[in-house]
């Protein structure tokens, strides 16, 4: 628990967690973007806020960074209150936002040196260029960088003050799959170095691959929290069947098949969750034969975080 009096949140009263959020609330007029969010992040942990666009992830992160004031609740980052001790906090954290915009004629090395000048504790810019694969671009203008290079530069700038906590807000949004994997490799390297990272994402594979623990957020609420493995165990008694058919079928008809717990239409196919896969497959084949339809493909897999989200909300993560 955080101290009752937020004025006391400082180095001497720091909770055991390096980052702690309790009953956080933020409103924009009549819209309650964050509705009592609570979670804690331990030192050296990669913690993910997973949810659709508009779920309240970015607002939560901006409050933790000291960029927005909450309307209720308490937060502590590195033992500091982000709103009351923002000057001290900026030396302890690094951030890469959803999009970084720099002057077009600013050179890569100039950007790193400029950001380094803002802090009392600084990393060697030459080492950062090497680490993030930007050495050959040191004299390039920002406007000459590709989307992936701009994001790598944003991550390098986030590390320029050797922060205790890193905030990555949708770090791979809008990037092609190959560049996304490059960013994953960088974050995994930071994870091995025991950097504390709070990241937001709406990519299931990102959360499963990178995060030690995940808080699933929807409509400003934390609806589930735990490791990806723990969360997927919520659906451990079910198997995922991804089905594609020669002709469309009624999802209600597929939902009535033997053993099926639910059925969703996904990208032109159907995702069925079943507690008895063999019986469901037999029932499916018999149904299709009776309808004069054919099975185009069938994939069997374990439940994913997407399946957990569907169970909790009744809709897909990116709806």
The pLDDT of residue 9 is above 60: no
The pLDDT of residue 1 is above 80: no
For the stretch 199-217, pLDDT in tens is 999 888 899 999 999 999 9
Indicate the pairing of strand 31-41 with strand 19-28.
antiparallel
Of 64-73, 157-166, 267-276, the poorest mean pLDDT is in 267-276
Give me the pLDDT at residue 318, please.
Answer: 63
DSSP string covering 130-178, please?
A: HHTT-GGGTTSBGGGS-HHHHHHHHHHHHTTT--SEEEEESTTTT--HH
Domains plus CATH for the chain?
6-227 (3.40.50.300), 237-302 (3.30.70.100)
For the stretch 55-73, pLDDT in tens is 999 999 999 999 999 999 9
Structural element, H or E, at residue 48: strand 46-50
Q: Distance between CA atoms of 205 and 218, rounded to whole angstroms?
A: 18
Rounded to an integer, the average pLDDT of 171-187 is 90
């Amino acid at each position: 628990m955080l101290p009752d009096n937020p004025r006391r949140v400082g180095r001497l009263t720091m909770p055991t967690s390096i980052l702690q959020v309790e009953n956080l609330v933020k409103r924009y007029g009549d819209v309650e973007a964050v509705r009592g969010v609570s979670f804690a992040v331990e030192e050296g942990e990669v913690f993910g806020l997973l949810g659709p666009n508009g779920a309240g992830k970015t607002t939560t992160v901006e409050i933790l960074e000291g960029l927005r004031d909450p309307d209720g609740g308490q937060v502590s980052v590195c033992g500091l209150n982000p709103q009351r001790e923002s000057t001290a906090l900026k030396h302890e954290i690094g951030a890469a936002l959803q999009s970084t915009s720099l002057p077009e004629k600013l050179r890569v090395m100039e950007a790193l040196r400029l950001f380094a000048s803002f802090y009392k504790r600084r990393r060697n810019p030459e080492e950062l260029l090497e680490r993030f694969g930007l050495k050959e671009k040191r004299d390039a203008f920002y406007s000459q960088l590709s989307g992936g290079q701009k994001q790598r530069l944003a991550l390098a700038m986030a590390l320029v003050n050797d922060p205790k906590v890193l905030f990555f807000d949708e770090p791979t949004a809008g990037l092609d799959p190959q560049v996304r994997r490059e960013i994953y490799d960088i974050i995994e390297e930071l994870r091995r170095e025991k950097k504390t990272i709070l990241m937001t994402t709406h990519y299931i594979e990102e959360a499963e691959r990178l995060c030690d623990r995940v808080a699933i957020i929807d409509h400003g609420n934390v609806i589930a929290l735990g490791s990806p493995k723990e969360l997927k165990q919520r659906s451990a008694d079910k198997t995922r069947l991804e089905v594609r058919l020669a002709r469309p079928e009624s999802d209600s008809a597929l939902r009535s098949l033997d053993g099926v717990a639910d059925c969703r239409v996904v990208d032109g196919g159907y995702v069925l969750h079943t507690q008895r896969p063999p019986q469901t497959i037999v029932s499916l084949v018999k149904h299709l034969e009776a309808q004069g339809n054919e099975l185009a493909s069938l994939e069997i897999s374990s439940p994913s975080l997407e399946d957990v989200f569907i169970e909790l909300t009744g809709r897909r993560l990116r709806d």
